[in-house]
């Protein structure tokens, strides 16, 4: 295998990016960060890539722990593609730091501004119809760069974002501990198990046919947007509401968290729910697999 590309995804933007780049590279495997890093090491790969959404101006926690445990060929060409909606913040610097602690450099880094998917806070924006074609175009250009093994310094946070990040984002990161408390499952649930299969954090177990959340949630939105019955809701109540109201006054977005029944949901249009549940894929794909 010439290349392995590791992606973390909730709603498919990062998986789509991994596919576009793998298709251009050929002889590549894309691996979800839901997998065990020891089962997919990058010790013999000539090209190693990392593709991820940005959460709270940084690298999502599950990606951090996956990459920390991954073994990487020190001679590989290493690239990173961040898929924020607007603010990449320190995500690439965080990745570069983890790689540096393993003696690995980052040859290429880039950003693709994508549809914002945090649907328990806001409806998807900008309009997927307008933004997805733009992201596709940029992905193709990035795939060409990577195939040519071009060098590009990774994006860094502005001084303003760095200054603000502690104050603005620390409360959100703190709240990750409670991130799945507010999930609700309605009577419409048919116990199909899709929410559990797509969860990249192995955070949902079906108990007596009912999804139960295991408190290591990244709020990635995969379960919410994959449920065929739209049975998963999000409602902050009781003790959690008091906690948010008292200790996180500087987190206006948290105060409006919830999932009105008519809220538009978003999943990347090139990625199916079954794709989200995959652990890995080899490219080029065989014709038969494609059909
Ligand atoms: C919990 C959470 C936090 C987010 N924080 C940011 C952020 O700080 N900056 C940003 O530009 N986008 C943010 N987003 C938007 C995602 O990074 C963006 O929609 C991404 O493309 C989703 O990728 P995926 O489809 O591969 O999951 C956030 C989304 C979620 C779910
Ligand atoms: S995906 Fe929806 S219907 Fe299926 S088990 Fe989960 S909550 Fe129930
Ligand atoms: S429980 Fe849902 S939101 Fe949380 S990590 Fe799993 S799929 Fe994502």
Q: Which ligand is nearest to the CA of 201?
A: 3
d(C-alpha 207, C-alpha 191), whole Å: 10
Does ligand 3 have an atom closer than 6 angstroms to the CB of 119?
A: no
User: Relative to the CA of 218, which ligand 3 atom is closest?
Assistant: 5
The tens digit of pLDDT for each residue in 103-114 reads 999 999 999 999
Residue 291: per-residue pLDDT? 43
d(C-alpha 40, C-alpha 123), whole Å: 35
Residue 127: per-residue pLDDT? 97
CB atoms within 10 A of CB 75: 9
d(C-alpha 256, C-alpha 210), whole Å: 27
Q: Name the closest-CA residue to atom 20, ligand 1.
A: 53
| CA 227 / ligand 2 centre spacing (Å) | 5
What is the torsional sign of CA 69, 74, 76, 80?
A: positive
β-pairing, 280-283 vs 28-32, is antiparallel
User: Relative to the CA of 179, which ligand 3 atom is closest?
Assistant: 4
The tens digit of pLDDT for each residue in 225-279 reads 999 999 999 998 877 777 666 655 556 677 788 999 999 999 999 999 999 999 9
Q: Which ligand is nearest to the CA of 181?
A: 3
The tens digit of pLDDT for each residue in 65-93 reads 999 999 999 999 999 999 999 999 999 99
- Contact 57/157 with Cβ under 8 angstroms? yes
Single pTM value for the model: 0.96
Instruction: Please report which residue ranges of the chain form alpha helices under DSSP H.
Output: 13-25, 61-69, 91-100, 128-147, 159-175, 194-198, 222-226, 238-247, 252-255, 273-276, 287-290
d(C-alpha 217, C-alpha 119), whole Å: 15
pLDDT bucket at 287, cuts 50 / 70 / 90: low
Q: What is the mean pLDDT of residues 131-151?
A: 98
Q: What is the mean pLDDT of residues 277-284?
A: 96
């Amino acid at each position: 295998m010439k290349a392995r590309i590791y992606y973390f995804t909730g709603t498919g933007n990062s998986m789509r990016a991994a596919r576009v780049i793998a298709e251009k590279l050929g002889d590549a495997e894309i691996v979800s960060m839901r997998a065990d890093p020891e089962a997919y090491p990058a010790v013999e790969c000539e090209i190693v890539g990392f593709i991820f959404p940005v959460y709270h101006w940084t690298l999502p926690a599950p990606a951090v722990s996956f990459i920390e445990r991954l073994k990487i060929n020190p001679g590989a060409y290493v690239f990173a593609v961040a898929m924020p909606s607007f603010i990449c913040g320190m995500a690439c610097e965080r990745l570069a730091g983890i790689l540096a602690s393993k003696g690995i450099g980052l040859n290429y880094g880039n950003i693709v501004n994508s549809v914002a998917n945090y649907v328990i806070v806001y409806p998807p924006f900008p309009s997927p119809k307008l933004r997805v074609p733009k992201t596709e175009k940029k992905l193709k250009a990035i795939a060409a760069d990577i195939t040519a093994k071009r060098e590009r310094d990774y994006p860094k946070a502005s001084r303003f974002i760095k200054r603000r990040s502690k104050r603005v984002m620390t409360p959100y990161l703190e709240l990750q501990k409670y991130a799945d408390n507010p999930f609700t499952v309605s009577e419409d649930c048919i116990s199909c198990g899709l929410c559990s299969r797509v969860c990249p954090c192995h955070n949902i177990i079906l108990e007596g046919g009912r999804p139960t959340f295991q408190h290591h949630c990244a709020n990635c939105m995969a379960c919410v947007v994959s449920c065929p019955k739209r049975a998963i809701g999000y409602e902050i109540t009781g003790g959690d509401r008091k906690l948010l109201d008292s200790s996180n006054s500087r987190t206006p977005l948290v105060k409006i968290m919830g999932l009105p029944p008519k809220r538009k949901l978003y999943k990347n249009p090139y990625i199916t729910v079954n794709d989200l549940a995959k652990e890995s894929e080899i490219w080029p794909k065989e014709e038969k697999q494609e059909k």
